[in-house]
């Protein structure tokens, strides 16, 4: 990759133990590959100090925090005030990830919905983007996002988007963004690529969700931020753009949404 092309991994989990033995090297490889920024995501607020410490140590790393929907029933319910307070940190750039996951944790649907609405209000108050995880909950997700938007606008990215065309359209109609992960580069993901291709290119972000979902040629192995490149190059194909042009577009999109993530 030409080092004059810069991209951002808008969603990864650098605090996970998968990186404990070589976190410095992982971040260095990302920078060497052109990934100039990484947003590492805290999924349980009790782990926020560790995630914050990574962002404070490494200049290219920013962070966000919230309660993942799969943990909504097992963790204390987050408050708006807690999230607003965290947002005072200069490297805290987003609210979440939050959302709905009925694939693994449908039994906690009601507390997930409550938690989601708390995060939305925090995004509204802080002006920071909401980071949404959605799995097998498209109807409720579209309904809640739309209901809450009518109560007051906010910004949002549908992280690791792999849901239906209907949810994509609902999110885009609200002015939200869709993020491409390694799933979009999998050979059998043509239907998902078609959804992305129908979206405005100025509403697309790139991410790894590392350590999960490594794109080809690393599929089946631990993912890391350097591999954002492979998803990005597949995204350029999807939109029929040259790689440098698509990379520059996704950077502009990221900076428009994540306004605090300034190097």
Where are the chain's structural domains? 7-257
| pTM of the full structure | 0.97
Give the CB-side neighbour count of residue 139, counting CA atoms within 13 A.
1
Return the HEC string of the chain.
CCCCCCEEEEEECCCCHHHCCCHHHHHHHHHHCCEEEEEEEECCHHHHHHHHHHHHHCCCEEEEECCCHHHCCCCCCCCHHHHHHHCCCCCEEEEEEEEEECCCCHHHHHHHHHHHHHHHHHHHHHCCCEEEEEECCHHHHHHHHHHHHHCCCCCEEECCCCCCHHHHHHHHHCCCEEEECHHHHCCCCHHHHHHHHCCCHHHEEECCCCCCCCCCCCCCCCCCHHHHHHHHHHHHHHCCCCHHHHHHHHHHHHHHHCCCCCC
Residue 142 has pLDDT above 50, yes or no: yes
Residue linked to tokens 């939305």: 120
- Whether 242 shows a pLDDT value over 60: the answer reads yes
Q: Is 11 within any annotated ligand binding site?
A: yes
Q: Check the annotation: does 133 bind a ligand.
A: yes
pLDDT at 238: 98
**Averaged pLDDT for residues 100-106:** 97
What is the band of 3 on the pLDDT scale with cuts at 50, 70, 90?
Answer: low
Residue 263 pLDDT level (bands cut at 50, 70, 90): confident
Tell whether residue 119 is among the known ligand binding residues.
no
pLDDT higher for 80 or 2?
80
- CA 244 from chain centre, in angstroms, equals 22
Q: What is the pLDDT of residue 1?
A: 41
- Main-chain phi, psi angles of 4, to 5 degrees: -90, 0
Both structure tokens of 153: 């606008």
Average pLDDT over the chain reads 97
Greatest alpha-carbon span in the chain = 48
Mean pLDDT of the region 36-49? 98
CB–CB of 57/14 below 8 Å?
no
Annotated binding-site residue? 209:
yes
Kindly indicate whether the domain formed by 7-257 is annotated with CATH number 3.20.20.140: yes
Is the per-residue pLDDT at 169 higher than 90?
yes
**Mean pLDDT (whole number) for 61-72:** 98
Question: Residue 138 pLDDT > 80, yes or no?
Answer: yes
């Amino acid at each position: 990759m030409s080092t004059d092309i810069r991209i951002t991994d808008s969603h990864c989990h650098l605090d996970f133990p998968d990186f404990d033995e070589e976190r410095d090297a992982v971040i260095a490889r990302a920078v060497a590959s052109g990934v100039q920024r990484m947003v590492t995501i805290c999924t349980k607020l009790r782990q926020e100090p560790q995630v914050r410490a990574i962002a404070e140590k490494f200049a290219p790393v920013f962070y966000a925090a919230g309660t993942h929907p799969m943990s909504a029933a097992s963790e204390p319910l987050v408050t708006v005030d807690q999230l607003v307070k965290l947002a005072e940190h200069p490297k805290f750039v987003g609210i979440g990830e939050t959302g709905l996951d009925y694939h693994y944790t449908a039994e906690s649907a009601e507390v997930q919905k409550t938690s989601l609405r708390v995060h939305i209000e925090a995004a509204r108050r802080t002006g920071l983007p909401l980071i949404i995880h959605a799995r097998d909950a498209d109807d409720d997700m579209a309904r809640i996002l739309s209901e809450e938007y009518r109560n007051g606008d906010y910004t949002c990215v549908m992280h690791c988007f792999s849901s239906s065309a209907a949810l994509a359209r609902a999110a885009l109609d609200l002015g939200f963004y869709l993020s491409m992960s390694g799933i979009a580069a999998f050979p059998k993901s043509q239907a998902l690529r078609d959804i992305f291709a129908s979206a405005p290119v100025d509403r697309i972000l790139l991410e790894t969700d590392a350590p999960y979902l490594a794109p080809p040629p690393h599929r089946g192995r631990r993912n890391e931020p350097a591999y954002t490149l492979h998803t990005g190059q597949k995204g350029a194909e999807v939109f029929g753009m040259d790689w440098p042009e698509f990379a520059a577009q996704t950077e502009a999109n990221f900076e428009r949404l994540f306004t605090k993530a300034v190097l």
